[in-house]
Amino acid sequence: MANIRKRKLRTWCRTLTAHVWLIALASAPAAAGDAQRGEPMYQRYCTGCHGADGRGGGKNFMPHVGALTRKGYTDRLEDSYLESIVADGGEAFGKSAYMPSFKTTLSSQDIADVIAYVRTFPLY
């Protein structure tokens, strides 16, 4: 019974955290990302899992990560949502816990730049 309560509390906390971030991001002015500045950061922090071209299959950490270039999926996600995932990590949004939080590594502008770079990938 205690385990069920703990799971419900964790789920509630994750949901609350996601909502707080979404409200904060919605009220903050959107930073325009610069794909050229985002490329080296993507290459440094993201290719290990997401691959150099965003198609997944990075050889360093998680070779089974899905593609960022899947037509009809990533292209439909709002930048603010992607920024939240990059900032807080995947687990906070019900995604893989292997996706770390980058909010202490990358600034908001850096994250916007990385997302702008990802948006340059061709969709498949």
Angle at 9 (CA atoms; ends 103, 95), nearest 5 degrees: 45
Q: For residue range 75-91, what is the model confidence (pLDDT) as tens digits?
A: 999 999 999 999 999 99
Percent of the chain with pLDDT over 70: 70
* 8-26 pLDDT tens trace: 656 655 654 555 455 555 5
pLDDT tens-digit map of 55-79: 987 766 655 777 899 999 889 999 9
The chain-wide mean pLDDT, for the chain, equals 82
pLDDT band at 27 (very low <50, low <70, confident <90, very high): very low
pTM for this prediction: 0.72
**Which residue, among 70, 68, 65, 23, has the nearest Cα to 48 in the 3D structure?**
65
Query: Does position 38 have pLDDT exceeding 50, yes or no?
Result: yes
Name residue 12's amino acid.
Answer: W
